[in-house]
Homo-oligomer: A and B are copies of this chain.
Amino acid sequence: MPKTIICSVGTSASKKLGIHPKHLNNWVKERKPIDDAANIMFNSFCKFKPNEENIAAHLSAEIHSLFRIGIDNSDRVFLFTSETEDGYCCGLAVQKYLEHYWPEIEVTTEYINGLQVENAQKFRNQGVVEYIKKATEAIENYGNVILNPTGGYKALVPYTVLLGMIKGVECKYIFEQSTSLIGLPALPVEFKQSQFEAYKELFEKIDRDSSISKKEWENCVPYQARLLLEPLIEQSGNEITLSGVGFLFLDEMRKPSALVPFLSRQAIDDCFDNVAQLDDCDPFRFLQRVSTSQEAFQQAEHINVGNGLRWLKPGRTTDRYLVSIEGWRLLVWRVIREDEKGKKYANKVKVDPEGDRRQYLPFMRMEYLNQ
């Protein structure tokens, strides 16, 4: 399966030019247009083929790590550079190299506004946010994504790691002077969606309008909640904007990478007192599986009731699940047995999700201790 690799890019592609990092930006500026500078840079290392011998000694951190990741012609690479001209030039030079040795590979070099090291506030308010936006977009559009923070600023690494955790994407990077790849697999952590739900509308508004006033923030968010929400915003003067983390969390609420199953009180009784007692029937594993895999959900879909509710059928077993999707939640309204209700169970067990809602509340998160 083709891979998509998201790389942050530093300036190590310039190393064969023998220019002090301090002077690199001027060197690039003196060689406009930037593509000319990138060509000169590319020519300084293009003769070094991507092989064991050359990879660490003569080639850039990005090329080194991409080689270790095992890229091939069917892959796609995003090179995200700083907003500085030397950073962008290095990205273009890396792109030329990749296209030279893997002619079919799809490479995109983009500079990230605000990604620079002179102004920390701009880095956080703009650079990190834009980096996370571009990276989540790539994660959403393509499967089999790998995050590669080998190149680029150390200050960006924490955000890459967080991105990988929340989106369930693996990080791979090269270990400093070493030549081995370190992998940080998609870790089993999740962010506490429930705690933010009350403020989702407000975050949507900040995202839409780019910022809100500090006064509005304080009016909408009670004092006790502000500490909790602090990581999700940036404050500059009287303006509140979304932080990179805030954008990531909002994005995950809008387009969750996995659903979380919640059982109505009726469904709790249905599951524990009835269906789970059957041999060869594990309602919880089934609900977990359809929550984490869209494919499994689609396969299980049996009857679309039409009012947002669907009956799911696991396979040849007799258990049936009446569910709906609300945001990041999979609501489970009823769980029944076809052998009890009969083949026309969908006509017999009817739920009006609006009118009957009250009697199904609360939906409890499907996480339990049962021994």
Contacts and interface: CB of A to CB of B under 8 A. Distances in A.
Contacts of A178: 117-120, 123
Interface stretch (A93-101, A136-144, A156-164): A156-164
B190 A190 contact: yes
A194 B184 CA distance: 21
B368 A177 contact: no
Given A187-B162, A192-B188, A367-B365, A155 B182 contact: yes
A79 interface: no
A153 B188 CA distance: 25
Contact of A188 (B154, B188, B191, B262): B191
Contact of A157 (B158, B188, B263): B158
B176 A154 contact: yes
A250 interface: no
A228 interface: yes
Interface string A253-282: 000000000110100100010000000000
Contact of A154 (B123, B157, B192, B230): B157
A262 to B, nearest CB: 6
A245 interface: yes
Contact of A184 (B158, B176, B188, B189): B158
Nearest to A153: B176
A103 interface: no
Nearest to A229: B188
B189 A165 contact: yes
A161 to B, nearest CB: 4
A369 B195 contact: no
Nearest to A124: B182
Contact of A187 (B186, B188, B191, B263): B191
Contacts of A190: 189-192
Interface stretch (A38-46, A70-78, A356-364): A356-364
Given A118-B177, A155-B175, A157-B161, 4 more contacts: A120-B178, A272-B361, A362-B370, A367-B367
Interface of A: 117-121, 123-124, 153-155, 157-158, 160-162, 165-166, 171, 173, 175-178, 180-182, 184-192, 194-196, 228, 230-231, 245, 262-263, 265, 268, 272, 326, 329, 331, 361-365, 367-371
28 contacts: A117-B176, A118-B177, A118-B178, A120-B178, A121-B180, A153-B176, A155-B175, A157-B158, A157-B161, A158-B171, A158-B184, A161-B161, A161-B162, A187-B231, A189-B190, A190-B191, A194-B367, A268-B268, A268-B362, A272-B361, A331-B369, A361-B369, A362-B369, A363-B369, A363-B370, A364-B364, A364-B367, A367-B367
